[in-house]
């Protein structure tokens, strides 16, 4: 198996060495895309969000894109006109690429660099996927004059978070509580029409 991506291909992406899972140990988040369906051939490994990777897909995938992948953490892959949301895993998970998604254009990572750090990642579809990562609190999630309509949220580290409908910790609230190391909430599961601010813990006030 050969990883032919280098700083001279199109854009610079970080390459990481695979970390094996050990119970009770934080696992570093990463995504590896493979040229072939059996996790072999040329590969690309990243540990954070990267957009506009079309030329890397062409180079590493030799014009055919990626046929399989392995990852830990919370990720989305996009190609022109479609998004593949991957179920969050706190251990390394591998699968073949869904048909039609081989030509990856963007890679989005939701959450902290490892699987056990308490955090929440909120995302909304504005000028591409915008992601706000919060470790303690954020009183103003607004990117326009109106409150954000969050499309998805990911929590990590078995943490709880109070969502506020308005900025500055105002308006109606809803608390997300998960005993899972990683958890994905769709927009409809957030319990609010919009999210303007957030803080760590149920009952927090800012």
Determine the average pLDDT of the residues in 82-110. Answer: 93
> Measuring CA to CA, which residue among 83, 22, 85, 77 is closest to residue 44?
77
Q: Is the pTM of this model over 0.85?
A: no
59 or 113, which is more confident? 113
Q: Rounded distance, CA 70 to CA 30, Å?
A: 8
| pLDDT (average), residues 79-102 | 92
3-class secondary structure, 187 = helix
Q: What would the mean pLDDT of 97-106 be, rounded to a whole number?
A: 93
CA distance 66 to 168: 43
Instruction: Please tell me the least confidently modeled range out of 17-21, 108-112, 131-135, 159-163.
Output: 17-21
Q: What is the CATH number of domain 119-200?
A: 2.60.20.10
CATH 2.60.20.10 in the chain, residue ranges: 30-109, 119-200
For residue 142, what pLDDT is reported? 64
pLDDT above 90 for 72: yes
CATH superfamily of the domain spanning 30-109:
Crystallins (2.60.20.10)
Report, as an integer, the average pLDDT of 53-64: 82
pLDDT tens digit sequence for 132-164: 899 999 998 865 545 567 888 999 999 999 999
Q: Please say if the pLDDT value at position 25 is more than 70.
A: no
CA 143 to chain centre: 19
Q: How far apart are CA 116 and CA 27, in angstroms?
A: 7
């Amino acid at each position: 198996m050969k990883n032919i991506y280098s700083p001279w291909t199109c854009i610079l992406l970080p390459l990481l060495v695979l970390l094996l899972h050990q119970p009770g140990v934080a696992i570093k988040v990463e995504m590896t895309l493979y040229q072939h369906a059996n996790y072999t051939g040329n590969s690309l490994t990243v540990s954070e969000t990267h957009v506009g990777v079309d030329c890397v897909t062409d180079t590493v995938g030799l014009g055919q894109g990626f046929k399989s992948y392995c990852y830990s953490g919370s990720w989305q892959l996009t190609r022109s006109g479609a998004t593949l949301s991957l179920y969050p895993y706190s251990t390394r998970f591998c699968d073949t690429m869904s048909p039609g998604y081989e030509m990856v254009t963007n890679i989005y990572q939701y959450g902290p660099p490892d699987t056990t750090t308490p955090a929440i990642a909120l995302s909304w579809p504005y000028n591409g996927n915008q992601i706000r990562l919060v470790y303690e609190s954020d009183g103003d999630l607004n990117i326009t004059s109106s409150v954000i309509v969050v499309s998805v949220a990911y929590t990590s580290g078995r943490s709880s978070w109070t969502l506020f409908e308005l900025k500055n910790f105002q308006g109606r609230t809803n608390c997300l509580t998960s005993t899972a190391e990683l958890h994905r909430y769709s927009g409809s599961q957030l319990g609010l029409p919009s999210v303007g601010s957030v803080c760590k813990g149920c009952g927090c006030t800012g």
